[in-house]
């Protein structure tokens, strides 16, 4: 549905996006992650046809965004980062305008507006002027605008920004639900959002894609993934630490807390052989007659991976 | 009473016919997108105080100043009505940019440009829709000048054909100024900058055609060799000679073509300006 090939954007000498490629199919929700200034918004602006690309191609449902502009744009719903609105209109007026512009037939206008208002919980401010809306309502009004024509492709630049936790939850559910029959790209800083709503995620840093996979795959890449946390007691003189180190599945053991009668240790998996680490640790404890009070295999965490592979550099 | 009937027959009906043709073109000829943008834009002129303030300023200036300074009333003769039209473009140098300054700069300030340009609309749809909305505001402004026409008809027996020609010429000049403003407002996000630059350009455009300024510019070519092509250009673009011809009631094809070409060129330049701002 969305095909992006070697997309580049240069602003003068500065390279904002440097060869980004990805594909999003119908039924996929792609999370777009990256530090501030990594090129997320610039990429989205090129995908929606707002910014012309310096190099590369974007096709939306087979239509090239530059050669076949109108056809490609008619398939897209877009929520820009700043959630811009015409301040002199009412919420309903604005949505009606957007629907007309997006080619919703006159006979279906009322239904489309009603549906968008209902989906984004805008009923209380329906007749209010955009000028007087709170940030959350403004954001949702712009969100409503992007889904009003029931597009095949949705591109959302930080859709949950400025929402309270309940609303964030609602919007994530909504994205997830809509993702079943659309191709969606959304960018976010909030990593748990990726797990909650995405089928796939891309991490982008300094204009380049540095990780691409399902949330589970990405989590597994973080250095803590597969490590085992053990909290056990009853080990006077058992030398458990050394025993743990000897396990073929373990790479290293770090003791986080140690008393006469107990230990809290984190065991990192050996490369390639870490699969059975949890079982091995538990077997070892049984033979040593230790009482396990906690034994947990870490899944790995997105924020760890994110910190490990993206660099914050304020110089550029 | 006679004056009122004349007003109806010779002004109201032609105005309604023109308005009717415009509505028909908008409804049946132009694409839906142009219509939608036009409607939104026109509505926003009247939901904010801008249109009303400009109406009051324009009508205030044109009606009072004209009455006092142009000697219309003392003369009471039809041809003396010409001075009124000689002054109108001067006010429009200020008023037309004030009407048009928000067209694209506001769009950039609010960030709605990003919405507008990612909707499935060709840039010329948006440019034309917005331009037409501002043109309608200017048109309404001129229509609201009717009291002065009524007064003239009440006091004497003027040649209303010439007066009508004066309004047509004035409107065409206003459309030129508006087209210039459209380009300028596409280049900045500040309405104030758009206003100041447009007023300056419109003034140059207007003065460039002023007979004594024309002569002055032409006589300078010796010393101003470098600037001469530039001056020549301004002189060539000056709207005043075309305005004067039309306002006299001479419906010259050359002048009409000048105005239309100028407007189309500016609207095209607006699309280039928008592209430049995006890249």
Interface membership of B276 toward A (CB under 8 Å): no
Give yes or no for residue B78 having a pLDDT over 80. no
Are A51 and A119 in a shared domain? Answer: yes
When comparing pLDDT for A246 and B111, which is higher? B111
The B residues from 30 to 49 touching A (CB cutoff 8 Å) are 32-33, 36-37, 40, 44, 47-48
As for how many domains chain A has, the answer is 2
Interface membership of B112 toward A (CB under 8 Å): yes
Give the DSSP H/E element, type plus range, for residue A226: none
Interchain contact, B110 vs A86, CB within 8 Å: yes
Residue of B47, B120, B275 with shortest CB distance to A102: B120
Are A38 and A139 in a shared domain? Answer: yes
Q: Please report the pLDDT score of residue B14 as a whole number.
A: 87
Q: Please report the pLDDT score of residue B200 as a whole number.
A: 92
Residues of chain A in contact with residue B119, where contact means CB-CB under 8 angstroms, are: 73, 98, 101-102
Are A131 and A274 in a shared domain? Answer: no
Give yes or no for residue B233 having a pLDDT over 90. no
Q: In B15-53, which positions are buried (b, 16+ CB within 10 angstroms) versus exposed (e)?
A: beeeeeeeeeebeeeeeebbbbbbebbbebbeeeebbee
If you average pLDDT over residues A256-273, what whole number do you get? 76
Each residue's pLDDT tens digit, B238-255: 777 777 777 777 777 888
Are A121 and A19 in a shared domain? Answer: yes
Are A24 and A72 in a shared domain? Answer: yes
As for how many domains chain B has, the answer is 1
Residue of A69, A86, A101 with shortest CB distance to B33: A101
% of chain A at pLDDT higher than 90 = 34
Of the pLDDT bands very low, low, confident and very high (cuts 50, 70, 90), residue A316 is very low
Interchain contact, A85 vs B47, CB within 8 Å: no
Q: Please report the pLDDT score of residue A274 as a whole number.
A: 63
What is the chain B residue with the closest CA to A45? B114
Give yes or no for residue B164 having a pLDDT over 90. no
Are A184 and A241 in a shared domain? Answer: no
Q: Please report the pLDDT score of residue A152 as a whole number.
A: 93
Q: Please report the pLDDT score of residue B127 as a whole number.
A: 96
Give yes or no for residue A66 having a pLDDT over 50. yes
Residue B81: C-alpha distances to residues B165, B172, B209 (Å): 12, 19, 21
Q: Report if residue A92 sits inside a domain.
A: yes
Give yes or no for residue A93 having a pLDDT over 90. yes
**A252: helix, strand or coil:** strand
Are A199 and A252 in a shared domain? Answer: no
Of the pLDDT bands very low, low, confident and very high (cuts 50, 70, 90), residue A162 is confident
Q: Report if residue A306 sits inside a domain.
A: no
Interchain contact, A71 vs B48, CB within 8 Å: no
**A262: helix, strand or coil:** strand
> Can you give the CATH number for the domain in which A149 is found?
3.40.50.300
Considering the entire predicted model, what is its pTM?
0.84
Are A190 and A265 in a shared domain? Answer: no
If you average pLDDT over residues B255-270, what whole number do you get? 91
Q: Which domain holds residue A138?
A: 2-221
Q: Please report the pLDDT score of residue A236 as a whole number.
A: 61
Residue with structure tokens 């300056």?
B200
When comparing pLDDT for B232 and A88, which is higher? A88
Q: In A143-167, which positions are buried (b, 16+ CB within 10 angstroms) versus exposed (e)?
A: bbbbbbbbbbbbbbbbbbbbbeeeb
* Least reliable range by pLDDT among A78-87, B30-39, B77-86, B143-152: B77-86
Give yes or no for residue A97 having a pLDDT over 50. yes
Each residue's pLDDT tens digit, B185-221: 999 999 999 999 999 999 888 887 666 666 666 666 5
Chosen from B41, B47, B114 to mutate, greatest number of chain A CBs within 10 A? B114
Are A245 and A151 in a shared domain? Answer: no
- The answer to whether the beta carbons of residues A118 and A81 sit under 8 Å apart is no
If you average pLDDT over residues A224-245, what whole number do you get? 74
């Amino acid at each position: 549905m969305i095909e992006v090939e070697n997309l580049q954007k240069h602003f003068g000498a500065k390279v904002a996006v440097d060869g980004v490629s990805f594909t999003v199919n119908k039924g996929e929700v792609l999370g777009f992650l990256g530090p501030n200034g990594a090129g997320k918004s610039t990429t989205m602006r090129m995908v929606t046809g707002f910014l012309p690309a310096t190099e590369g191609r974007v096709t939306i449902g087979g239509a090239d965004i530059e050669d076949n502009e109108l056809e490609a744009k008619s398939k897209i719903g877009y929520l820009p980062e700043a959630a811009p609105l015409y301040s002199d209109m009412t919420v309903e007026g604005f949505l009606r305008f957007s629907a007309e512009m997006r080619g919703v037939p006159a006979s279906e206008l009322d239904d489309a507006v009603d549906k968008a208002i209902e989906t984004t919980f805008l009923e209380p401010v329906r007749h209010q002027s955009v000028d007087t809306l709170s940030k959350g309502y403004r954001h949702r009004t712009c969100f409503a605008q992007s889904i009003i024509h029931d597009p095949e492709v949705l591109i959302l630049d930080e859709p949950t920004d400025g929402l309270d936790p309940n609303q964030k939850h609602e919007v994530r559910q909504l994205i997830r639900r809509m993702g079943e029959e659309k191709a969606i790209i959304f960018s976010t800083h909030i990593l748990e959002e990726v797990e909650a709503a995405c089928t796939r995620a891309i991490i982008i840093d300094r204009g380049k894609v540095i990780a691409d996979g399902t949330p589970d795959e990405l989590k597994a890449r973080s250095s803590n993934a597969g490590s085992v946390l053990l909290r056990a007691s009853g080990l006077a003189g058992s030398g458990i630490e050394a025993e743990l180190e000897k396990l073929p599945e373990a790479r290293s053991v770090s003791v986080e807390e140690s008393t006469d009668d107990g230990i809290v240790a984190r065991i990192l998996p050996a490369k390639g052989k870490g699969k059975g680490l949890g079982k091995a640790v538990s077997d070892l404890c049984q033979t040593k007659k230790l009482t396990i009070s906690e034994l947990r295999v870490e899944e790995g965490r997105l924020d760890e991976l994110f910190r490990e592979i993206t660099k914050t550099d304020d110089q550029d | 009473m006679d004056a009122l009937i004349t007003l109806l027959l010779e002004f109201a009906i032609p105005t309604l016919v023109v308005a009717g043709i415009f509505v028909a073109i908008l409804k049946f000829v132009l694409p839906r997108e142009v219509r939608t943008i036009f409607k939104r834009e026109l509505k926003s002129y009247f939901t904010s105080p801008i249109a009303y303030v400009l109406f009051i300023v324009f009508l205030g200036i044109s009606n009072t100043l004209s009455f006092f300074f142009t000697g219309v009333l003392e003369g009471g003769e039809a041809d003396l009505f010409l001075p009124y039209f000689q002054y109108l473009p001067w006010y429009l140098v200020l008023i037309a940019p004030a009407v048009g300054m928000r067209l694209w700069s506001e769009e950039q300030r609010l960030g709605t440009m990003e919405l507008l340009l990612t909707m499935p609309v060709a840039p010329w749809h948006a440019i034309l829709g917005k331009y037409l909305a501002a043109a309608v505001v200017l048109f309404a402004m001129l229509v609201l000048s009717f009291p002065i026409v009524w007064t003239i008809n009440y006091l004497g027996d003027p040649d209303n054909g010439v007066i009508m020609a004066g309004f047509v010429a004035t409107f065409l000049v206003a459309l030129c100024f508006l087209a210039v403003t459209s380009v300028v407002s596409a280049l900045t996000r500040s309405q104030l900058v758009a206003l100041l630059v447009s007023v300056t350009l419109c003034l140059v455009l207007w003065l460039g055609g002023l007979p004594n300024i024309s002569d002055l510019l032409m006589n300078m070519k010796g010393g101003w060799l470098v600037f001469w092509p530039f001056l020549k250009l301004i002189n060539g673009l000056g709207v005043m000679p075309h305005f004067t011809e039309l306002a006299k009631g001479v419906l010259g094809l050359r002048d009409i073509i000048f105005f239309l070409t100028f407007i189309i060129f500016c609207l095209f330049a607006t699309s280039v300006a928008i592209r430049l701002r995006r890249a």
